[in-house]
Copies of this chain bind each other. A is one copy, B any other.
Amino acid sequence: MIRKKISAAPSVRRLPSYLNIIRELQTGGNEYVSGTVIAQELKLDPIQVRKDLALTGITGKPKKGYRLPALITAIERYLGWDTPRNAVLVGAGNLGSALMGYAAFNCHGLTIQAAFDINPHLAGTEIHGIRVFPAGSMEAQIRESGTKIAILTVSPASAQAAADALVHAGIDGIWNFTTVKLKVPEDVVVQQEDLSSGLAMLSVMLRAKTRETGKPPA
């Protein structure tokens, strides 16, 4: 996996939230934004924000900050979201279906072309306008279309076999929503998505709050 080589991971993860703020400010008619304002909005350290934005190669003007359209372009270009990319989705269950309906991906240049599922009743249906195909046709279709990104939302028991098939079909990057730590060749990128991480943060923050206020947990 290449993950370990991305040393700026926390910065990269913050960039989309900057984009949200910046787009809101642009809609509000603003022309410039300072790192301090972004930091205030997101309760971050201004130095950290400026460091994160420097990743994209942009520099702000003293006292004025960053020009909004230039800043949006710089972040989108850094993230590669200015380039349309295709993806397939594997596992059209609850979470898979939800992701197929997640319009924000389109704003980030990502189009889910096709979904695959082992459930024969799902094959041939459309979910949020995306066609579901039988799992058996997956490798051939990925090879034919040349798609390089896969979103993995199968059950844990099917995860490694699905990943093997994806790698075999030529996929370069897997966005893994299963809890399984996938074994893939060195040159395949895996982004592990774990909803439990957010729940862990929420739990610990609530406990810290209880400790502060002396209120018992609900």
Q: Which of A28-36, A63-71, A115-123, A189-197 forms contacts with chain B?
A: A189-197
A186-216 toward B: CB 8 Å interface, digit per residue (1/0)? 0101011111111111111111110011000
Asked if A149 is an interface residue, CB under 8 A from chain B, the answer is yes
B residues in contact with A146, CB < 8 Å = 218
Asked if A160 is an interface residue, CB under 8 A from chain B, the answer is no
A15-52 toward B: CB 8 Å interface, digit per residue (1/0)? 11101110000000000000000000111000000000
Distance between Cα atoms of A148 and B16 in the complex (Å): 29
A162 to chain B, nearest CB (A): 17
Q: CB distance B13 to A200 under 8 Å?
A: yes
Distance between Cα atoms of A146 and B196 in the complex (Å): 24
Asked if A97 is an interface residue, CB under 8 A from chain B, the answer is yes
B residues in contact with A129, CB < 8 Å = none
For window 52-107 of chain A, which residues contact chain B by CB distance below 8 Å?
78-81, 83, 85-86, 93-95, 97-99, 101-102, 104-105
Identify the closest chain B residue to A204 (Cβ): B12
For window 143-180 of chain A, which residues contact chain B by CB distance below 8 Å?
146-149, 172-173, 175, 179
A194 to chain B, nearest CB (A): 6
Identify the closest chain B residue to A20 (Cβ): B179
**16 further contact pairs, Cβ within 8 A, besides A2-B212, A110-B199:** A6-B205, A12-B201, A15-B200, A16-B197, A17-B181, A17-B197, A21-B181, A94-B128, A95-B98, A97-B98, A108-B199, A108-B203, A172-B206, A173-B205, A175-B199, A191-B199
Residues of A near any B CB (own CB < 8 A)? 1-6, 9-10, 12-17, 19-21, 41-43, 78-81, 83, 85-86, 93-95, 97-99, 101-102, 104-105, 108, 110, 128, 146-149, 172-173, 175, 179, 181, 187, 189, 191-209, 212-213, 217-218
